[in-house]
Amino acid sequence: MSEKIDYIDTYYSRTLGAVATYPELVGNCEADVCVIGGGLAGLNTALGLVERGLKPVLLEARRIGWGASGRNGGFVLRGFDAGDIDIPGRVPPDQKFRIMKGCLDAQDLIRQRSMTYSIPCDIVSGSLAVTWGTDTKELEDDVRYANDTFDMGLEFWSRQRVQEHCRTPRYYAGVFSKWDFHFHPLRYTHGIAAAASSQGARIYEQSAALKIKKDGADWCVQTAGGQVKAKHVVVCTSVYGSGFDRKLDFSVFPVQTYVMVTKPVDRHDLDSTINTPYCVYDLRFACDYYRVLPDRRILWGGRVGLHAEPKDISALMLADMFKVYPQLKGRVEADISWAGRQAYTPYRMPVIGQRKPGYWYNTAFGGHGMVPTTLGGELIARAIAGHDGGYRDFDRYGLLFTGGPFGRYVAQAVYSYWCACDYMRYEGPFARRPSP
């Protein structure tokens, strides 16, 4: 039997507490649906199915929440990676409305589920998106558009108001959302797994799907130790190279991003810098995102990479932090840092839909997955359990060939271009300098 894979060392795995472990699949079994991948995309699908009376089997190659779902920033924000107040492409207004409204409903569902299933995930309400740019009129217009079109309830905050919460001259304005929140993502992921399992979903860890083949009207999913036969299969494997689906493997590319958590910070130092309970992120392409954790540590995330992990993630994150809050130099110390991988498509929108009869996708959520994985899970569960066609709104964001292993080089070039644009706009010789 192959070696068991456990969580990498993160703040979340250190503070997870007692949770269930699930057995490895041994032998053959049958199910209504076989869900592949035990991140939030797979688990939300499985929970949506059991809540509608179906009995899925979920296969996870490692541990529940081992991937991005259990090691992210914990920001639960409206919208998608492609946009938090709008989506790309020429989408008819009614379709756009349904997609964005679906997101807001999914955000509510996360809160509801955390209460219904008593998930101890430390929800703290409120997010603040801040801008390094001086053109605050553009931001005000965006807020008006989001409120008028999608009823998002956003507030535009002046520079002064932002500075009450973020004591730095870096930011020129902000957008506050009382509906967004932040939480402990690994505990939430386990809570969703426990809720699905208690209602009849069979979950297997250390059980990678190795091959999928057609067997009459059913699909057969093989693992090293057994096989699942089901009418439907839902692939939620993100970037971890399923190996069994070349189209998917050649259509999404992996992007790494990083998180660092400090040792507990003196209360006075927090008051004079990150003086807010809200999670904060800036609106640059390669943004900083941060929040204060319940034990007065700062979680700071950002940057993306397409190749090897940097040698010293903590040093990179601290340097980014000191650019915004130089007052913290010498006052904070990194305790732990880690990297995580997320799946991107060229649209930066997820792939949610049916590829062949009974063969579904719910994947590629990029760096903004907490809410969209919940939406995707609901759409797929509704489609399978109730023949609902709501998922078809995502048809236009299907799989595009991105060059497989070479796609990441194109992505690297695009990313470098956007970083250069960010630099010229906010920091370069022609950018307007922030004044205190």
| 291 touches ligand FAD by CB under 6 A | no
Pick between residue 13 and residue 163 the one whose CB is nearest to ligand FAD: 13
Q: Give 279: exposed, middle or buried? Use CB within 10 Å, 0-12, 13-18, 19+.
A: buried
* Planar angle of CA 151, 361, 12, nearest 5 degrees: 70
Q: Which of residues 244-263 bind ligand FAD (CB under 6 A)?
A: 257, 259
Shortest Cβ distance from residue 304 to ligand FAD (Å)?
Answer: 9
What distance in Å separates the CA atoms of residue 362 and residue 88, rounded to the nearest whole number?
A: 19
| 242 touches ligand FAD by CB under 6 A | yes
Pick the closest to residue 394 from 377, 378, 376 (CA basis): 376
Q: Which of 48, 126, 301, 305 binds ligand FAD (CB under 6 A)?
A: 301
What distance in Å separates the CA atoms of residue 256 and residue 367, rounded to the nearest whole number?
A: 9
Q: Which of 36, 130, 203, 228 binds ligand FAD (CB under 6 A)?
A: 36
| Residues binding ligand FAD: number (CB under 6 A) | 42
| 363 touches ligand FAD by CB under 6 A | yes
| 368 touches ligand FAD by CB under 6 A | yes
Pick between residue 69 and residue 262 the one whose CB is nearest to ligand FAD: 69
Shortest Cβ distance from residue 388 to ligand FAD (Å)?
Answer: 21
DSSP letter assigned to residue 84:
S
Shortest Cβ distance from residue 58 to ligand FAD (Å)?
Answer: 9
| 139 touches ligand FAD by CB under 6 A | no
Q: Which of 13, 114, 131, 238 binds ligand FAD (CB under 6 A)?
A: 238
Stretch of residues binding ligand FAD (CB under 6 A), selected from 60-68, 116-124, 137-145, 167-175: 60-68
Sign of CA dihedral 309, 311, 317, 320: negative
Write the DSSP string, 310-323. PS-HHHHHHHHHHH
Pick between residue 68 and residue 91 the one whose CB is nearest to ligand FAD: 68
What distance in Å separates the CA atoms of residue 86 and residue 143, rounded to the nearest whole number?
A: 11
| 237 touches ligand FAD by CB under 6 A | yes
Pick between residue 69 and residue 168 the one whose CB is nearest to ligand FAD: 69
| 133 touches ligand FAD by CB under 6 A | no
DSSP letter assigned to residue 87:
-
- Which residues are CB-neighbours of 428 under 8 A, at least 6 positions away? none
| 75 touches ligand FAD by CB under 6 A | yes
* Planar angle of CA 148, 131, 184, nearest 5 degrees: 85
Ramachandran bin of 344, using left for φ above 0, alpha for ψ from -120 to 50, beta for the remaining angles = beta
What distance in Å separates the CA atoms of residue 16 and residue 12, rounded to the nearest whole number?
A: 6
Write the DSSP string, 320-379. HHHHH-GGGTTT--EEEEEEEEEEE-TTSS-EEEEEETTEEEEE--TT--HHHHHHHHHH
| 79 touches ligand FAD by CB under 6 A | no
Pick between residue 139 and residue 313 the one whose CB is nearest to ligand FAD: 313
Shortest Cβ distance from residue 302 to ligand FAD (Å)?
Answer: 9
- List residues binding ligand FAD (CB under 6 A): 36-42, 59-62, 66-69, 71-75, 77, 208-209, 236-238, 240, 242, 257, 259, 301, 340-342, 363, 365-370, 373
